[in-house]
């Protein structure tokens, strides 16, 4: 499973990159709006820092305007992936961008049906939001599993990118299901490293060494 960082903060991205685990970044309008400075410069900086895909979302809600934004976004760096919400207009935009050879990440996916339509339109990634489904009492991981089954049934090339990952168990379950990628906040990435037995074991090794 590829690991992407869900952040628009360059310091967080550098911190994650230093661990050697990050193969891409996902941003969204909420994450970018938290950062101060010119958002295009921030995106350019992220794209220089990370070799893999960097998702940047369109703000427009109408297909022609989405395509115009996408045209500008792809000029920022060759690894920009256009994030498009799965709406009627968004699906049209994904189809057009696919025909022009531009990579897309279909975002705000909450059902297998939405994911299938995005894949048919030619999305490179679909991003089911696991945590937000759990928040409303649904089973986000079941949606990931269902999408994976459907994509396998029809041999669809679109990658399943587990998003809205809130804790280590989401990450672990996505990997067990064989999701192509998961995008996680830095806090979750740092939690993945921890195990109490590692801390206890290290303390004992160091104490024994000090006694020699």
Residue 25 vs 154, nearer CB to ligand E4P? 25
Task: State the nearest-atom distance from the C-beta of 18 to ligand E4P, in Å.
Answer: 22
Asked if residue 9 binds ligand E4P (CB under 6 A), the reply is: no
- Beta-bridge partners for 107: 85
Asked if residue 28 binds ligand E4P (CB under 6 A), the reply is: yes
| Annotated catalytic residue within 83, 92, 95, 211 | 83
> Please, how many CA atoms are within 13 Å of residue 40, restricted to the half-sphere of its CB?
8
Task: State the nearest-atom distance from the C-beta of 114 to ligand E4P, in Å.
Answer: 14
95 catalytic per annotation: no
- Which residue of 9, 26, 124, 158 would you call a contact of ligand E4P, by CB under 6 A? 26
Task: State the nearest-atom distance from the C-beta of 68 to ligand E4P, in Å.
Answer: 22
- Which residue of 112, 117, 183, 186 would you call a contact of ligand E4P, by CB under 6 A? 183
Stretch 125-154: interaction string toward ligand E4P, x if CB under 6 A: --x-x-xx----------------------
| HEC secondary structure over the chain | CEEEEECCCHHHHHHHHCCCCCCEEECCHHHHHCCCCCHHHHHHHHHHHCCCCEEEECCCCCHHHHHHHHHHHHHHCCCEEEEEECCHHHHHHHHHHHHCCCCEEEEEECCHHHHHHHHHHCCCEEEEEHHHHHHCCCCHHHHHHHHHHHHHHCCCCCEEEEECCCCHHHHHHHHHHCCCEEEECHHHHHHHHCCHHHHHHHHHHHHHHHHC
Residue 6 vs 96, nearer CB to ligand E4P? 6
Subset of residues 78 to 117 that bind ligand E4P, contact rule: CB under 6 A: 107
For the annotated catalytic residues, the residue numbers are 83
* Contact residues for ligand E4P, defined by CB under 6 A: 6, 26, 28, 107, 127, 129, 131-132, 163-164, 183
């Amino acid at each position: 499973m590829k690991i992407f960082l869900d952040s628009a903060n360059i310091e967080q991205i550098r911190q994650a990159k230093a661990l050697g685990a990050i193969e891409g970044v996902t941003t969204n309008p909420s994450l970018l709006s938290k950062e101060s400075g010119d958002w295009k410069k921030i995106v350019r900086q992220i794209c220089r820092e990370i070799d893999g895909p960097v998702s940047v979302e369109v703000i427009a809600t109408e297909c022609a305007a989405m395509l115009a934004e996408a045209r500008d976004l792809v000029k920022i760096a060759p690894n920009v992936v256009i994030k498009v919400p799965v709406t009627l207009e968004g699906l049209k935009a994904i189809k057009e961008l696919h025909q022009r050879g531009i990579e897309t990440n279909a975002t705000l996916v909450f059902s297998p049906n939405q994911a299938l339509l995005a894949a048919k339109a030619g999305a490179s990634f679909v991003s089911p939001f696991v945590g937000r489904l759990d928040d409303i009492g649904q089973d986000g991981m079941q949606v990931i599993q269902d999408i994976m089954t459907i994509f396998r049934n029809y041999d669809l090339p679109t990658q399943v990118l587990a998003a809205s990952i809130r804790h280590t168990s989401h990450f672990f379950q996505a990997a067990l299901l064989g999701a192509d990628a998961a995008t996680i906040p830095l806090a979750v990435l740092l939690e993945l490293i921890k195990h109490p037995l590692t801390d206890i074991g290290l303390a004992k090794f160091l104490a024994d060494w000090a006694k020699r």
